[in-house]
Structure 1
């Protein structure tokens, strides 16, 4: 029994480290606070893929009195619960690859930035311009302005260790 408790504490400790690291990337003022608009990016960076409605509900739960900011003290326990309960499960790599292959009608192994932008800003749960710019900055080949999707699938999926 003590061994199980100790094992669970290690898991929680590891989860807390991952959450803090993801949160700190967006804590520009180093005051354990982030803009609530960054929460969806933080959640996705932790391998969770909630719907827009789920993100809205989560932000409402952790936002500081509707100030537009989220403090680590509220975010950490709420996000820990999400991760430990696998509330917003990651998308399997093969499904992500399949989605890119459907979009890559010529089977080139990449999508042009303009093409991906069209799909992600006009279909499904659309990206806003800032989200699209961040994604293209992070994932596109700056010389060719294309996204080699097979190279980035591991960045879009997440090993939960389960």
Structure 2
């Protein structure tokens, strides 16, 4: 009895994930031919609440790409792999409190913001450095056109994904 209920719940969850994946995929399927440009896969995956590293993203693309890379990813190959990723809750975003602590390390005076130049220096020179494209993407989301610094509490609130 409980097994049937678990299976039913799992099937409903899979159906819900499949619907979300299809909707996210269709946004970038400009030709309406069930393919998207391989360069859009990271955006699609992130829109589904996953935050893979660049290496994880490349591994995932390799998994869904055709044997002979065409530059396009087919929906039929993407759907089962992405459904599995969501079921396993892989590539979960970093919790809000951990993000906040990380930004506070970069803000020793506890001002609540970090100058744009300092942020760029940290993000492109430390740890797993951001590419130019990743840095531009982050800055466009984190800093308004008139601003010269990132108010990180607002940025974190915008980045955090609600699981409910």
For this structure pair, what is the TM-score category when the shorter chain's length is used for normalisation?
0.7 to 0.9
SS of equivalent to 2:49: coil
Q: Which residue of 2 aligns with 1:50?
A: 52
Deviates more, 1:54-63 or 1:148-157: 148-157
- The verdict on how the C-alpha distance between 1:26 and 1:141 changes in structure 2, with shifts beyond 3 A counting, is same
Task: State the alpha-carbon separation in 2 of the partners of residues 132 and 25 from structure 1.
Answer: 23
Written as runs of structure 1 = structure 2, the 5 A alignment for 1:53-132 is 53-64=55-66, 65-132=68-135
How far did residue 41 of structure 1 move? 3.0
Provide the alpha-carbon RMSD of the alignment: 2.2
Does the 8 Å CA contact 1:47/1:157 hold for their aligned counterparts? no
How far did residue 68 of structure 1 move? 2.1
- The verdict on how the C-alpha distance between 1:133 and 1:24 changes in structure 2, with shifts beyond 3 A counting, is farther
Task: State the alpha-carbon separation in 2 of the partners of residues 112 and 123 from structure 1.
Answer: 16
How far did residue 73 of structure 1 move? 1.8
Q: Which residue of 1 aligns with 2:15?
A: 13
TM-score for both structures, normalised by structure 2: 0.82
How far did residue 122 of structure 1 move? 1.7
TM-score for both structures, normalised by structure 1: 0.83
- For these two proteins, the number of residue pairs brought into alignment is 161
Task: State the alpha-carbon separation in 2 of the partners of residues 113 and 32 from structure 1.
Answer: 40
How far did residue 46 of structure 1 move? 2.4
| Structure 1 gap segments, 5+ residues each | none
How far did residue 47 of structure 1 move? 2.5
How far did residue 80 of structure 1 move? 0.9
Task: State the alpha-carbon separation in 1 of the partners of residues 60 and 111 from structure 2.
Answer: 38
| Structure 2 gap segments, 5+ residues each | none
Written as runs of structure 1 = structure 2, the 5 A alignment for 1:144-159 is 144-159=147-162
Task: Return the index of the structure with the highest Cα Rg.
Answer: 2
How far did residue 90 of structure 1 move? 2.4
Any idea what the Cα deviations from partners look like across 1:74-108, whole Å, max 9, x if unmatched? Answer: 11211110110122232111111111111123322
SS of equivalent to 1:136: helix
How far did residue 115 of structure 1 move? 2.2
